[in-house]
Amino acid sequence: MLPEHCQKNDTVPPRSTIDSLLARLRGLRPARPFRLMEVCGGQTHSILRHGLDLLLEEHANIQLLHGPGCPVCVTPAAYLDRAIAIARLPGTLLCTFGDLLRVPSGASGDLFAARAAGARVQTCLSPLDALDLAGRNPSLRVVWLAIGFETTAPAHALALRLARERRLANFCVLPSLFLLPPVLCAICADPDTAPDAFLAAGHVCTVTGPAPYEALAAELRRPIAITGFTPEEILLGACHALRLHAAGTPACFNAYPSAVHPGGNPAARALMRETFVPCDQVWRGLGPLPRSGLALSPDYASFDANALLPPGTLPAPAAAGGAGADDAPACPASKILRGLLAPPDCPHFGGACTPDTPLGAPMVSPEGPCSAFYLHRPRVTSSARPPAPPRISRRPPAS
Ligand code: SF4
């Protein structure tokens, strides 16, 4: 099931709102294609579901690129090998978000198959559910798979603090947490292929506040618009990215002020600082990136489930693989996640590679860009886009 913020996108905004936004976009239309990347799986789904990419190309010469915004997709295969090995340990209950169950590991199948073979794997909606299971089952060792971006890290952090307060010695976590600013830097490493601007995910910035993206826009010399998930919020974000680009202003604009406040969520950030420290991280499809993840802080080292496996039994997630090493050799995930290839233009899209038989990172979760295209445009290639207007299309007035 898609996250709640995706389901809310079923609401079609008033026609006047869309007309007004498209008129603003037409007024900003650049002569050459403007490459705008979103890095949020929820936004990717909303864009494809409502045909916003087609609208933006038609009205404003904007080419939308779909970056590495799905945390399940970028979770490295080696991490899942470790999770499955831990799930097989006697007396262990492995708890996870449900969308990790079908994600292929490097060499151990997936969690779903591990459960079918007898491992104890339980899906939970929240790390606090796993914490409750630990409290109610003192004879079991409960291991929580703490994955995600800055959005979900505070919930993992809260579970850790509560576990310490409750002296739950049978609760631990296997972290695979990602920070978005470093991956945007990596995507911009080649100025010839870097996007012209980014849409930053509103829910991430609700936690962090706009400050990290203000610094990043200046560093990358590219505009960043913080935006939400509905069609009108995404179109508004595109307007501001284009406006800043046209003005030659590499700044960050908060187009989602109803949720993103200066300073973000101070309580959440304090929890994250208490429980986690920055670390190098491997991104599935992109390889290792310095200081792009979070590991447990020294104060919480006793909750680290990595210690359950003898050293050297499996590669540590932070040490495994280079770009694309996690995926099938034929999968061009690193090009997809950098916006250099559109999912439908991959030769495996919809054939050898589907959500049921994913070859690579962008197809493994419902929030991945290949999976989103498969769901909403299964028979469309980027070079043969449909002539029919999308669901909320508003054509410009005839001249
Ligand atoms: S369609 Fe499959 S093989 Fe092609 S890039 Fe996407 S995940 Fe990789």
| pLDDT tens-digit readout, 381-392 | 544 443 333 434
Domain endpoint, select from 326, 361, 392: 326
- State pLDDT tens for residues 90-100: 999 999 998 88
Is the pLDDT at 132 greater than 60? The verdict is: yes
| Distance (Å, whole) CA 192 – CA 49 | 30
Judgement on whether residues 167 and 225 belong to the same structural domain of the protein: yes
Same domain, 29 and 102: yes
Cα 41 to Cα 43: distance, rounded to the nearest angstrom: 5
CA-to-CA distance for 36 and 63, rounded, in angstroms?
Answer: 6
Q: Which of 363, 365, 380 to mutate to test the pocket of ligand 1 (most atoms within 8 A of CB)?
A: 363
Look at residues 259, 294, 326 and tell me which one is the last residue of a structural domain: 326
For residue 342, the one-letter residue type is A
For residue 109, what are the contacts with CB-CB under 8 A and spacing of at least 6? 84
pLDDT of residue 301: 97
The reply to whether 396 falls in a domain is no
Domain extent, residue 363, equals: 333-376
Both 45 and 174 in one domain: the answer is yes
Pairwise CA distance, residues 348 & 320, whole Å:
25
In angstroms, the CA 47 to CA 246 distance is 23
CA of 326 to the centre of ligand 1 (A): 12
* β-bridge partners, 34: 62
| Residue to mutate, 65, 284, 327, 346, ligand 1, most ligand atoms under 8 Å from C-beta | 346
Co-location of 146 and 257 in the same domain: yes
What's the token pair of residue 389? 């207007």
pLDDT in the model for residue 388: 35
For residues 216 and 350, membership in a common domain is answered with no
Of 16-20, 130-134, 282-286, which has the strongest mean pLDDT? 130-134
Sign of the alpha-carbon torsion through 361, 364, 368, 372: positive
DSSP state letters, 234-297: HHHHHHHHHHHHHTT---EEES-TTT--TT--HHHHHHHHHHEEEEEEEETTTEEEEEEEEEE-
Answer yes or no: are the C-beta atoms of 25 and 235 closer than 8 Å. Answer: yes
In this structure, are 298 and 270 located in the same domain? Answer: yes
pLDDT at 362: 87
Tens of pLDDT along 72-85?
Answer: 889 988 899 999 99
Span 19-48, average pLDDT: 95
**Residue 393 covered by a domain:** no
Residues with CB under 6 A from ligand 1: 331-333, 336, 343, 346, 348-349, 353, 358-360, 362-363, 370
209 lies in the same domain as 240: yes
pLDDT given for residue 395 in this prediction: 36
Q: Residue 62 belongs to a domain with what CATH number? A: 3.40.50.11740
Greater pLDDT, 335 or 220 = 220
Q: Edge-to-edge strands of the sheet including 197-201? A: 62-66, 34-38, 197-201, 224-227, 252-254
pLDDT averaged over every residue in the chain: 88
**Residue 319 and residue 202 share a domain:** yes
Q: Range with the lowest mean pLDDT among 15-19, 122-126, 248-252, 370-374? A: 15-19
d(CA 116, CA 172): 23
3-state SS string for 336-398: HHCCCCCHHHCCCECCCEECCECCCHHHCCCCCHHHHHHHHCCCCECCECCCCCCCCCCCCCC
Q: Taking residues 230-257, what's their average pLDDT? A: 96
- Please tell me the least confidently modeled range out of 108-112, 255-259, 385-389: 385-389
Same domain (yes/no): 180, 299:
yes
Ligand 1 atom with the smallest distance to the CA of 362 is: 7
- Point out the domain boundary residue: 326, 344, 362: 326
Question: CA 303 to CA 293: how far, in whole Å?
Answer: 17
The verdict on 368 and 316 lying in the same domain is: no
pLDDT at 314 (0 to 100): 64
Q: What is the pLDDT of residue 99?
A: 84
Rounded CA-CA distance 196/190 in Å is 12
Bridge partner list, 227: 201
How many domains are there within the chain?
2
Q: Is the dihedral of CA 220, 221, 222, 228 positive or negative?
A: positive
Judge whether residue 369 has pLDDT over 50.
yes
pLDDT in tens, 282-336: 998 888 999 999 999 999 999 999 999 987 766 555 454 555 556 667 888 888 8
> pLDDT at position 15, please?
75
Q: Does the pLDDT value for residue 396 go beyond 90?
A: no
251 with 109, same domain: the answer is: yes
Q: In the predicted model, is pLDDT for residue 218 greater than 60?
A: yes
Say whether both 321 and 337 belong to one domain.
no
> Pocket of ligand 1, candidates 103, 326, 353, 356: which has the most ligand atoms within 8 Å of its Cβ, to mutate?
353
Residue type for position 265: N
- The pLDDT-based confidence of 39 (bands split at 50, 70, 90) is very high
Amino acid at 30: P
In this model, does residue 3 exceed pLDDT 60? no
User: For the chain, how many helices (H) and strands (E)?
Assistant: 16, 11
Instruction: Quote the CA–CA distance of 181 and 292 in Å, as a whole number.
Output: 8
Q: Is 140 helix (H, G, I), strand (E, B) or coil?
A: coil
How much is the average pLDDT of 215-238? 96
In this model, does residue 18 exceed pLDDT 70?
yes
